[in-house]
Structure 1
């Protein structure tokens, strides 16, 4: 389980997180929604230790994430980045197998390539595409490569940062379906950040809405449409009228 207790984070005078409390049970898929700049990515970065929270406690299976073996901690995670974050100078299979070619998870070259090709097949790409470079692939294919990389080292926990950004509705649906299938197959714990309500409905077990530096509402995705929370209702409907101020 991932648990955040009264987590605060400020950047100068900008208090982004103002006491976040959130629990993500093991083996479930949590989707965090909220407006741009509300701190969704900051939560993700604080959990991973990419930035240090100012106060509060973040634990993974009861252990403080700021303590213990850093490499062993990060080895438990996979990540699908918003922009793909593929290395242009590396062929597709080396992008996928990046963590298996170095560090504590290092495997022999041939074995790493074999695992990468297997993961590419899992996301619907062929072995022939393994030796291409990212620039030779479409945006949807690049997103699949990013997903293959996220699962290549068989992580216990996978983070998805805006997984459908820049994709057309059909490809977004394909990626959402792949994410849901893979998370269930692996029994992984998943946390997704997205603005895409179609993605929320497709991949979430539970939803949390971040607004004003705090979790406004959290609960099962099935309860989202009947939450009674005016902030969540406005976000779901995309209405300009409501408690969330819009820039005009």
Structure 2
């Protein structure tokens, strides 16, 4: 579904991506791991076209991501942002239905609200939450609202940016289970950015280890613990010593 071929991206003298190659199969859940500042979010933004790569090609479902109808291209994606990123001034249902009330996906207000309530129920929230404002919700509830928004338009591809950041272990487990269930139910292609190894084990079909601007290892999550790759082993075991230099 997504292919990144020899992607380079620099910001001045900061060479973030140095020839990244990655394939994400249709209907699979790929998790990209790596330390902070290694380019995980930049890779995601390049796919969406929020940032233009310096060189290399990105294809989505066999077509160049940089060509064609931009609105139609973005309509294929859903996104769960780090920290939920809800609009404080809008009630919950309007946050969930935000995309359904504008652009090529525009629906009548009543229909958009009905869909929003359905998606809220799918992530375990009752209808009375729909008319509250984000500030009235706990962090875990806000994250669920963000997940409901990500799936509101039935996207083919869903991106999850650090989905469990700021959540306690129990709520992190709830969100991980929801992500896994929803991705399987929808048959969606998923790409997750995280350094939470509990999330990796819960939601990944395949993982990719990003370090120094390239993918150091990729394969099934079942092979992760015996990969034989020094970068991956150091990262998942949390060792200070190894090829990944710890910033002190």
TM range (shorter): over 0.9
- Verify: 1:198 aligned to 2:195, yes or no: no
Distance 1:62 1:127 in 2: 40
Q: Which runs of 5+ in 2 are unaligned?
A: none
The count of residues paired between Structure 1 and Structure 2 equals 248
Q: Which residue of the partner structure matches residue 72 of structure 2?
A: 72
Distance 2:200 2:77 in 1: 21
The CA deviation string for residues 70-113 of structure 1, in whole angstroms up to 9 with x for no partner, is: 00000000000001110000000000000011111000000000
SS at 2:130 equivalent:
helix
Q: Which residue of the partner structure matches residue 228 of structure 2?
A: 228
- Verify: 1:182 aligned to 2:199, yes or no: no
- Verify: 1:16 aligned to 2:16, yes or no: yes
Offset, 1:241:
1.0
SS at 1:131 equivalent:
coil
Q: Which residue of the partner structure matches residue 61 of structure 2?
A: 61
SS at 1:95 equivalent:
helix
Offset, 1:247:
1.6
Q: Which residue of the partner structure matches residue 218 of structure 1?
A: 218
Q: Which residue of the partner structure matches residue 97 of structure 1?
A: 97
Name the Cα RMSD after superposition: 0.4
Q: Which residue of the partner structure matches residue 149 of structure 1?
A: 149
Offset, 1:203:
0.1
Distance 1:176 1:161 in 2: 12
TM-score, scaled to structure 1: 1.00
TM-score, scaled to structure 2: 1.00
Q: Which runs of 5+ in 1 are unaligned?
A: none
Distance 1:240 1:44 in 2: 27
Offset, 1:62:
1.2
Q: Which residue of the partner structure matches residue 6 of structure 1?
A: 6
Q: Which residue of the partner structure matches residue 39 of structure 1?
A: 39
Offset, 1:122:
0.1
Q: After TM superposition, where is structure 1 displaced by more than 2 Å over at least 4 residues in a row?
A: none
SS at 1:175 equivalent:
helix
SS at 2:19 equivalent:
strand
Q: Which residue of the partner structure matches residue 172 of structure 1?
A: 172
Offset, 1:150:
0.0
Q: Which residue of the partner structure matches residue 113 of structure 2?
A: 113
